Amino acid sequence: MAASVCAFILALYALCGSAAGSGGLSAPTHVRLTSYNMDLVLRWDPPEGTTDVLTYTAEYRSLATGYNNGCTNTSALKCEFTSSSITVHGNYTGRVRAHRGAESSSWVESNVIVMDRHTFIGPPDVTLHVTGTSLEVSIKDPVFKQSELRETYTSATYNITYWKSSSKEEVETMSDMMQDRVVLSDLDPLSEYCVQVQIITNMNPRPSEYSDVVCERTGDVDAAPWVAAVVAFVVMATVVALVVTLVVYWKQISKFLCPEVVLPPHFKESLLLNDPNSIYPVSLPSEHCDHVSIVADHRTEEEGGCSTQPDTSQDGG
């Protein structure tokens, strides 16, 4: 009898709870916490069966702390958590709820993420440099939101796949390469080769995305290594010789480029004999005056710039 009463009460409670819940705001669906290149983003879908304009509040927490606010009243269907407290080795979970005016749905929690194990690693950047019939592969790691790839995965390696573009079925692979610069040698001359690289880590079970396919054409033949060494030595020796010559013979070179001006002897004598207070480089010629006689009305008037004397050359008659 007592058991029947308890069953009836539980059924009634469940019925009342479902009726109350049916009139409330439904919660978001497909809530998942994701990570790409060490970011931390919570994503979700709108509640099922609603066409209303909703806003959302999203939070996250680590296993050692309580929930931290991430996004408030956002209309987006995702929230990126950018707190400096997020670490590459932390364990995190998130939760979200919907809002319609003053009405709010219940919280929905996401999956748990271990950052260094579950993050998706993006593709590396690859460039090729041609040297004769060899290709140098330069690899640049993807940029992480938190830390750097080599700091997070100390033993990360590269898998390099390459093939001749005319025969892709003949694929060569170099695995577990630690260096970010690798030389592909013994390639066919004047042939186009394509390269693709993937990162492998020891802690993350998923390898990175493949890089873009990069292709380059090899040269004719490899230049002998001693040729480059001889050319470099000759250039350096020439530069050193020019510098030493310039230092040792600087006076002679400067005199040749900027010779001294030598004055003729008579110019020197003129300058030495001239009055130093004079502004003229040579002495002025002495002034000479001529006498002028003007005869008019039987009178003689003498004018001169220097002196005046009676004319004795004419008589009174």
**How sure is the predictor about 75, in pLDDT bands with cuts at 50, 70 and 90?**
very high
Encoded amino acid at 43, one letter: R
Of the candidate ranges 14-18, 106-110, 270-274, the one whose mean pLDDT is the lowest: 14-18
Cα 161 to Cα 123: distance, rounded to the nearest angstrom: 14
Decide if 24-118 and 125-217 have a common fold. Answer: yes
State yes or no: pLDDT of 109 exceeds 90.
yes
State yes or no: pLDDT of 132 exceeds 50.
yes
Q: Is 35 exposed, middle or buried (0-12, 13-18, 19+ CB in 10 A)?
A: buried
Please report the pLDDT score of residue 232 as a whole number. 82
Cα 65 to Cα 90: distance, rounded to the nearest angstrom: 11
State yes or no: pLDDT of 196 exceeds 50.
yes
Please report the pLDDT score of residue 159 as a whole number. 97
Question: Given the structure tokens 């390898």, which residue do they identify?
Answer: 207
User: So where are the chain's domains?
Assistant: 24-118, 125-217, 247-312
Cα 55 to Cα 77: distance, rounded to the nearest angstrom: 9
Tokens of 27: 């919660």
- Number of Cβ atoms within 10 Å of the Cβ of 115: 22
Please report the pLDDT score of residue 317 as a whole number. 42
Q: Is 93 exposed, middle or buried (0-12, 13-18, 19+ CB in 10 A)?
A: middle
Please report the pLDDT score of residue 304 as a whole number. 47
Query: In the CATH scheme, what architecture does the domain 24-118 have?
Result: Sandwich (2.60)
27 neighbors 47 (Cβ within 8 angstroms): yes
CA angle 109, 111, 116 (to 5 degrees): 135
Phi-psi region of 101 (alpha: psi -120 to 50; beta: other; left: phi over 0): left
State yes or no: pLDDT of 314 exceeds 70.
no
Strands 108-114 and 134-140: unpaired
Q: What's the CATH number of domain 125-217, 3.40.190.10, 3.20.10.10, 2.40.30.110, 2.60.40.10?
A: 2.60.40.10
**How sure is the predictor about 7, in pLDDT bands with cuts at 50, 70 and 90?**
very low
**How sure is the predictor about 243, in pLDDT bands with cuts at 50, 70 and 90?**
confident
Q: Is 68 exposed, middle or buried (0-12, 13-18, 19+ CB in 10 A)?
A: middle
pTM over 0.75: no
Encoded amino acid at 45, one letter: D
